[in-house]
Amino acid sequence: MNKPVLKILFVCMGNICRSPTADGVLKKKISILELAHRVHIDSAGTHNFHPNSPPDERTQRHALKRGYDLSGLRARAVTDTDFEEFDLLLTMDWDNRALLEERCPPKYQHKIRGFTEFLQSTQATTIPDPYYGGDPDFELVLDLVEEASEGLIQTVIKKIST
């Protein structure tokens, strides 16, 4: 018997750098584990700056060098139904979290968490926005997202096994 699907939404500001990176990285890692049919992954932004746009070109380029194809992703804003639909809403920084918490109905507040909570060894409290930075900033985002994804996968496996 198939267990219910776990739904995860990654959230940053514009949904063109950090959250699509997390979306693409986790999708690939979950697919390798043959769990894609059990985990639904999406990403969104707290702001609707880039509706239906692909991820930032630099984000795509750096991700592709590590084997993550983000070209099929499109930016969207968080919707009110996301709070009900998703099991986890994982934010990239404190501003994203505050904006989500402000909009979120009280009964769904427990679903909002910081993505860095899943880091296994790196001591970071946010995934920094690389948009105004250079190549090292995009590489740092990938490093943090890959590490946090590994920690998140442990939680995912526990949740879908119960």
Please list the pLDDT of the chain residue by residue as tens digits (162 residues): 455 589 999 999 999 999 999 999 999 999 999 999 999 999 999 999 999 999 999 999 999 999 999 999 999 999 999 999 999 999 999 999 999 999 999 999 999 999 999 999 999 999 999 999 999 999 999 999 999 999 999 999 998 887
pLDDT at site 1: 45
**52 — alpha (psi -120 to 50), left (phi > 0) or beta?**
left
Q: What is the CATH number of domain 6-161?
A: 3.40.50.2300
Distance CA 161, CA 151 (A): 16
Q: Which two tokens stand for residue 138?
A: 């995009």
Distance CA 21, CA 75 (A): 12
Residues annotated as catalytic are 12, 18, 129
Distance CA 117, CA 147 (A): 11
Q: What are phi and psi of 16, to 5 degrees?
A: -130, -5
pLDDT at site 47: 96
- Domains of the chain by residue range: 6-161
